[in-house]
Structure 1
Amino acid sequence: MTSPDTEPQSLYAAREPVFPKRVKGAFRTLKWWLMAVTLGIYYITPWLRWDRGPQLPDQAVLIDMANRRFFFFMIEIWPHEFYFVAGLLIMAGLGLFLFTSAAGRVWCGYACPQTVWTDLYILVERWVEGDRNARLRLHRQKWDFEKFRKRMVKWALWLLIGLATGGAWVFYFTDAPTLAANLLAGTAHPIAYTTIFVLTATTFLFGGFFREQVCIYACPWPRIQAAMMDEDTITIAYREWRGEPRGKLSKGGVAAGNGDCIDCMACVNVCPMGIDIRNGQQLACITCGLCIDACNEMMDKIGRPRGLIGYLALTDETREREGKDPKSVWKHIFRVRTILYTTLWSAVGIALVVALFLRSPIDVNVSPVRNPTFVTLSDGTVRNTYDVRLRNKQGDTVAYTLSVTSGAPVAIRLEGEDDTTVEVGAQETYAIRVYVEAAPGTPAASTDRTDIRLWIEDASGTSRVYHDTVFNGKGQ
């Protein structure tokens, strides 16, 4: 029991910023290349052009919200074809499951936007403030002119990167050169400025200040990944049976009885998450491989074999402890779980490709008018009415001819038209009322329901679609 004069102990611990040390090695080089590729794709893509004709936008990748369309080079997705987008999202999810099952959180360590932009921000921070020790000293240093100058320069560069990030994003939603000119002239839509501001602020805060906190506390994937992994998943691990017991390096090298780990903290100092991989698998580890580079560099210096920290599966740990060779990488990758994910991923991809090539450049929607279901004209002819909507998904105006086929003789007529041909403008939808008539005494006029097929064919005869519906007669 505490006395009234005793202050309660706080369980809150202030966050200690992580200042990763610069490291060289195969995994760090791979991360640099992937950063350059992913950032290049993100920033450059909106400026790529693709000629679709005089009446269509020439931006290669465009999310045209105003006209409710998505353009991706030669592919155009309409609102009613959202299943293509849903299919791509399913493929992305299955791909994430596949890579996580095979090699742990490689997405998080190499290609996640949070990782990529944090890496870029750390690079800028290192340019301005120096490597890890210099940044630590500056962090602990009281505010003076030097600290103020370096922080202002660093934050200014971070804001420019954030501004470029937000600016690139809005270019995906409208013509990039036009929007860029409008943004500079101050005449762009307020939504564009708001979006850029929000993305600039989030990039600045997430990449500059929150960093590993986003991965640990905000991202759900660390908590989901365990369901994707098993004992054959290759992930980063410390070979404790080889490294322990730890001991400081002496003039004579590693002391007898000690393991290969000299407790140099190199693996900890380079980790962008601020963890010690020697403590085992942890939720915060993003398997970026930088600790492997740092440890390999140290092993080279002390003349010990590389691989004290490396990519390792749980089954390999057991084998290596017994002095056996690890399994082949291919045996880890090709197993029931990964084959299942690959099969599902491929099936969805093949289905999307088939659907893409089989889709018609004409869309038709037929709605029978049910009030009344039919009318009888003065000469006894039975008429059904249908509201038809034609969507021309091509880049030119096309003339379409409508016809009807049935097991019983019926005729077709278009409201307000002398014949059965209509012109539909490029990328437009055309609505028209269609009458289907059966002469008195014919089977279609005298029976309850007759199946009919409404055909729509373009003038060139290259595209033809149909819609099945019914014709209502008088019945018995």
Structure 2
Amino acid sequence: MSDNSPAPSLYAAREPIFPKRVYGRFRNLKWFILFVTLGIYYLLPWIRWDRGDALPDQAVLLDLAGRRFYFFWIEIWPHEFYFVAGLLIMAGLGLFLFTSALGRVWCGYTCPQTVWTDLFIAVERWVEGDRNARLRLHRQKKWDLRKARLNLTKWALWLMIALATGGAWVFYFADAPTLARDLVTLNASPVAYTTMAVLTATTFVFGGFAREQICNYACPWPRIQAAMMDEDTLTVAYRPWRGEPRKHAVPEGETQGDCIDCMACVNVCPAGIDIRDGQQLECITCALCIDACDDIMAKIGKPRGLIDYMALTDEAAERAGNPPKPIIKHILRPRTMIYTALWAGVGFALMFALFIRSDLELTVAPVRNPIFVTLSDGSVRNTYDVRLRNKTADQQTIRLSVKGHPSIRLQLEGSPYQSVDVAPDATFLQRVYLVAPSGSEPAEAARTEVRIWVESLGGGDRAYRDTTFNGKARQ
């Protein structure tokens, strides 16, 4: 090689992909999932849910300022974040389960990148035409009025979708009608505008221009999925033993498989791959190639299924002339049953924790400086900070008491009573004194185990926390 010759490039330039329109059961399923998922995403913040005067009436609200998560009748407090962690664990286990059973079915049908890319491609097809028209427009190097008009129209529609996407996201973190009014009147916080701008830009770029590049290079899941799959995983595959040799026309005396090399499966693929080359990292298992191939098979009088959902174990059976295993046997196997058991176990644990949790809670923090105080009459006093938590929508009167030794009595700082009022859906910090008379066993001992009880006088809920009472022997 000459010293003046340019160094070879290690990276291939991206070839834009223009998927062809396809009809079929899997395309219809993808449309259904697209409308359902986007409908939920865009409309959920606007659903109202009556929780009482003291609480927000938005059905789903991630109130970061108030440190609450609301989901219909469920309210998650900061100390209950294990519910959110549990849901994330369930989501991960669910992803493992579906991948082990059906390959990258999440990527092909419900991944946000797939859903928005599908929508952007539909807009592009509506504005510019189907595959051949879009290819001609792309290959037209000279920009004329028609090309500029089509591109500007397409980009404007993409931008509207992206803006709705970013706007819908911020509505989950504040009251949607109020925030919408503030956004329009330019009275919303800079954080809201910044978040919308970032999400609008990323949706516009990822769905409109990057598309399959996000799946191929930015997403780690294509590289992780191999650990979740085995030879019994159902995934989109080509039957070469039936399709080969593939030819457009067969000279007399030569054999031909069912594949006529029409390229329909390639032309509809949003990743731009040829499924006939075998499993590839870029394949998102969207099954559009199945719809395209089935349509061609019907036109030439061949049975469907040249491209289909199948497992590696089916290949050996079919090559030997035996029928494949039933789908249920591919799905119900030890790996998927273990994932299902783990997923259900986490779900049942969360449901159990949700139903047994009390509407009244407390925390007790002993004041350690000083550990105890000897009063003028010789009695010993310990100080505690008790934080009461009222998780109901009504104000509650909470009575405090102590158990552990009959000589110990409880006093509230600033009140002659043993009860306090706690506002709805709020916490209340109360300083509490435990006093043991002079000469009593708790006053003279090093420590005495005690239990502080709280009880709602209106609702009847009770809760307690164990702590210790420190006496003179601790000196």
* Superposition TM-score, scaled by structure 1 size: 0.97
Partner of 2:15: 16
Partner of 1:472: 470
Alpha carbons 2:166, 2:200 under 8 Å: kept: yes
Runs of 4+ in 1 over 4 A off after TM superposition: none
- TM-aligned CA distance change 1:255 to 1:194, over 3 Å: farther
Q: In structure 2, what residue type is equivalent to 1:310?
A: D
Alpha carbons 1:408, 1:444 under 8 Å: kept: no
Q: Deviations over 1:343-389 (max 9, x none)?
A: 10001000001101111112211111112211221212111111111
Partner of 1:106: 105
Q: Deviations over 1:56-79 (max 9, x none)?
A: 100000000111110000000011
Partner of 2:137: 138
Cα distance between partner residues in 1 of 2:193 and 2:340: 42
Alpha carbons 1:105, 1:287 under 8 Å: kept: yes
Cα distance between partner residues in 2 of 1:255 and 1:167: 64
Secondary structure in 2 matching 1:400: strand
Alpha carbons 2:453, 2:462 under 8 Å: kept: yes
How much has 1:255 moved relative to structure 2? 7.7
How much has 1:447 moved relative to structure 2? 1.5
Partner of 1:197: 197
How much has 1:5 moved relative to structure 2? 4.2
Secondary structure in 1 matching 2:39: helix
Answer yes or no: is 1:365 the counterpart of 2:363.
yes
- TM-aligned CA distance change 1:255 to 1:413, over 3 Å: farther
Partner of 2:457: 459
Secondary structure in 2 matching 1:422: strand
Partner of 1:231: 231
Partner of 1:182: 182
Q: In structure 1, what residue type is equivalent to 2:114?
A: T
Partner of 2:29: 30
Cα distance between partner residues in 1 of 2:226 and 2:233: 10
Partner of 1:171: 171
Cα distance between partner residues in 1 of 2:238 and 2:419: 74
How much has 1:117 moved relative to structure 2? 0.2
Partner of 2:81: 82
Q: Deviations over 1:8-47 (max 9, x none)?
A: 3434432110000000000000000000000000000000
Q: Runs of 5+ in structure 1 lacking a partner?
A: none
- TM-aligned CA distance change 1:10 to 1:467, over 3 Å: closer
Answer yes or no: is 1:288 the counterpart of 2:291.
no
How much has 1:267 moved relative to structure 2? 0.1
Alpha carbons 1:408, 1:442 under 8 Å: kept: no
Alpha carbons 2:396, 2:458 under 8 Å: kept: no
Give the alignment partner of residue 447 of structure 1, picking from 445, 448, 460.
Answer: 445
* Range 322-331 or range 217-226, more displaced: 322-331
- TM-aligned CA distance change 1:104 to 1:115, over 3 Å: same
Partner of 1:308: 306
Alpha carbons 1:249, 1:255 under 8 Å: kept: no
Answer yes or no: is 1:47 the counterpart of 2:46.
yes
- TM-aligned CA distance change 1:255 to 1:471, over 3 Å: farther
* Superposition TM-score, scaled by structure 2 size: 0.98
Secondary structure in 1 matching 2:473: coil
| CA RMSD of superposed structures (Å) | 1.4
Q: Matches of residues 270-289 of structure 1 in structure 2 within 5 Å?
A: 270-289=268-287
Q: In structure 2, what residue type is equivalent to 1:316?
A: D
Partner of 2:150: 150
Cα distance between partner residues in 2 of 1:150 and 1:180: 31
- TM-aligned CA distance change 1:368 to 1:136, over 3 Å: same
How much has 1:408 moved relative to structure 2? 4.2
Aligned residues: 473
Secondary structure in 1 matching 2:429: strand
Alpha carbons 1:400, 1:424 under 8 Å: kept: yes
Q: In structure 2, what residue type is equivalent to 1:72?
A: F
